[in-house]
Amino acid sequence: MALLDVLQFPDPRLRRRSEPVEKITDELRQLAADMLETMYDEPGIGLAAPQVGVPLRLVVVDTEWTEEDAERSPLVLVNPEILEREGRIVWNEGCLSVPDFNAEVERAERVVLRATDLDGKEIVEEARGLRAVCFQHELDHLDGYLFIDRISRLKRDLYVQKRKKALREAGGTWSAAGERPPAPLASRS
């Protein structure tokens, strides 16, 4: 097991569309185990493979776990997709790849998700509230989207300026390619 480096905005690797997992290998199982270890260590309640630089449709979540209550209920989702969305909910979101920022995001309140587990078995789960929000947030990562793409332009621009300044002060470089989300599928030619 190993802790992985979590990429941070505006790393352009966060903006790629991830590829489906074709085959469940020992390497993939190891990646999922390392992602879970990294998620618990950060700590977070979800992590998507592109956040650790691997462009595959693989997500780990545990929305039951808190630092106070150490009981873990890890869930590994291979090739997850959302089958149904219903209702609206506003949640104050954060992201391990978006340092020093939280904002309210509106999403579906209830989703039905389908994926496979690491044994290739189908998982179908209905989720509401925080768990539904977490699923939608993590699946966004697989298409190169971050929660800051779903907030007002004003709030987003303020965060971008703040992040630019922090990076400049830390001696880092700004990647314009990672600043914007990829074009929606519908508008691609």
Interface of this chain with Zn ion, residues 83 to 102, rule: CB under 5 A? 95
Residue placing its CB nearer to Zn ion in the complex, 31 or 146: 146
* 116, 78 contact by CB (below 8 A): yes
Residue placing its CB nearer to Zn ion in the complex, 28 or 150: 150
Sign of the alpha-carbon torsion through 86, 88, 91, 95 = positive
Could you tell me the two tokens for 81?
């997709």
Site string for Zn ion, 51-90 (x = CB under 5 A): ----------------------------------------
Residue 178 C-beta: closest distance to Zn ion, Å = 14
Cβ-based neighbour number of residue 117 at 10 Å: 14
Residue 119 C-beta: closest distance to Zn ion, Å = 26
Name the closest residue to Zn ion (Cβ): 95
Peptide bond into 184 cis (omega under 30): no
- Tell me which of 19, 68, 81, 138 is the catalytic residue: 138
Work out the widest C-alpha separation in the chain, in whole angstroms: 49
The span from the CA of 63 to the CA of 75, in Å, is 9
Residue carrying structure tokens 């078995």: 121
The span from the CA of 17 to the CA of 47, in Å, is 15
Residue 140 C-beta: closest distance to Zn ion, Å = 8
The span from the CA of 68 to the CA of 75, in Å, is 19
Residue placing its CB nearer to Zn ion in the complex, 14 or 28: 14
Residue placing its CB nearer to Zn ion in the complex, 78 or 93: 93
Number of residues that bind Zn ion (CB under 5 A): 1
Is 22 in the active site? no
- The residues binding Zn ion (CB under 5 A) are 95
Report, as residue numbers or ranges, the catalytic residues: 138
